[in-house]
Amino acid sequence: MTNNSSYRDAGVNIDAQDEALREVRRIARGTFTPPVISDIGSFGGLFRASFEGIEKPILVSSTDGVGTKLRVAQAMKVHDTVGYDLVCHCVNDILVQGARPLFFLDYYATGRLRPAVMTDVVRGMARACSENGCALIGGETAEMPGFYGDDDYDIAGFIVGVVDEQNVLTGKEVREGDVLIGLPSAGLHTNGYSLARRILFDQLGHDHQTIIPEIGKIGEALLAPHISYLKPLLPLVEQRAVHALAHITGGGLTDNVPRVLPDSLDAHVKLGSWPVLPIFRLLAQHGNVARDEMLRVFNMGVGMVIIAGKEQVDTIARHFARIGQKFYFIGNVVKGSGKVVYDTPPAGFASWIE
């Protein structure tokens, strides 16, 4: 007599996937906007390409992940925040070219599908999609035993947005004398976690439940959400009040601001012109991390940089004051060769992070 083999015996539970996907469909439908004309579960998502008020629509797309922030989420057993982070990160990535989001898709891979975990992740995505006027139009789930651990999972996001051709931001409008305005981050956002985890857990011996007076519980501080800057910035983009935007992700200010600079100009950034968040002070002081490394790995408290002409500063400041958005004047554009140049406070970098 032979023993029959099954997919379940190999570690893949199709019934568990079906259970999870039923709840995912319900969650995703809550994000649908009028142009969505397909349901979750189709082979492809259908979206009506009708863009009222846009004369020459340009589609903008991007994809990203959350990195090892997932390790923190898994250790804390808090999963909806990383789904939220994923959407907000992708929204910001297309916003810097002037686009508003239309729809979002996700990829979820795991060693053993835990329906409750997966739906928590998707619930976070749906919350961020709803806040940003973006439809969660589809996705893919992969159960991969032997490749991921049973409780491990990875996520990736894919976003498509639209911008009128006249409002596309490329950095070509940046001029000498332009002003740099920083918008505050909430924490690490989705970058620098491998170094932060090494310092906090491997070098200092803390765990996710350790409470440090300056930041509270470490795990919760590390899970601070990635902010979406769509609502405060899209009106300025549509008014053509900005010359460029830079989303401060992996590479920090050092690598991200030059992405929107002409080769003949530098961004002169004044350290000390914005407050450093306590989590970054902790990492710098106890991790023995050099100044340039801190500024290249972490956002240091600035999640988005606006580059605008001096004549637009009052418009931007009034707009932010009206909506209660914090901002900092962090520098200006000068002649150079397409890089960031830091102006350290007179007392030095150490004093800035104390």
Lowest mean pLDDT among 37-46, 164-173, 252-261, 318-327: 37-46
Q: Beginning with the edge strand found earlier in the chain, give each strand of the sheet holding 244-247 in spatial order.
A: 244-247, 302-308, 179-184, 328-335, 265-270, 340-343
Identity of the residue numbered 172: K
Q: pLDDT value at position 145?
A: 93
Mean pLDDT of 102-118: 95
pLDDT tens readout for residues 47-88? 899 898 899 999 999 999 999 999 999 999 999 999 999 999
The three state secondary structure string of the chain is CCCCCCCCCCCCCHHHHHHHHHHHHHHHHCCCCCCECCCCCCCCCCECCCCCCCCCEEEEEEEEECCCHHHHHHHHCCCHHHHHHHHHHHHHHHHCCCCEEEEEEEEEEECCCCHHHHHHHHHHHHHHHHHCCCEEEEEEEEECECCECCCCEEEEEEEEEEEEHHHCCCCCCCCCCCEEEEEECCCCCCCCHHHHHHHHHHHCCCCCCCEECCCEEHHHHHCCCCCCCHHHHHHHHHCCCCCEEEECCCCHHHHHHHHHCCCCEEEEEECCCCCCCHHHHHHHHHHCCCHHHHHHHCCCCEEEEEEECHHHHHHHHHHHHHHCCCCEEEEEEEECCCCEEEECCCCCHHHHCC
What pLDDT, on the 0 to 100 scale, is given for residue 15? 65
CATH code reported for the domain at 179-352: 3.90.650.10
Average pLDDT, the chain: 92
**Pairwise CA distance, residues 234 & 163, whole Å:** 10
Domain with CATH 3.30.1330.10 in the chain: 14-167
As annotated, the residues of the chain forming the CATH 3.90.650.10 domain(s) are: 179-352
In the predicted structure, residue 9 carries a pLDDT above the cut 60: no
Work out the average pLDDT over 86-108: 97
Architecture of the 14-167 domain? 2-Layer Sandwich (3.30)
User: What confidence score (pLDDT) does residue 218 get?
Assistant: 97
CB 331 within 8 A of CB 267: yes
Higher pLDDT, 92 or 31: 92
Structure confidence at residue 348 (pLDDT): 60
pLDDT tens digits, one per residue of 16-36: 677 777 888 888 889 999 989
58: exposed, middle or buried (Cβ count in 10 Å: 0-12, 13-18, 19+):
middle
Q: Over 90: is that where the pLDDT of 11 sits?
A: no
Q: From CA 265, how far away is CA 341, in angstroms rounded?
A: 11
Q: d(Cα 306, Cα 343) in Å, to the nearest integer?
A: 18
Residue 316 has pLDDT above 60, yes or no: yes
> What number is the average pLDDT over the span 149-163?
96
Residues 6+ apart with CB under 8 A from 2: none
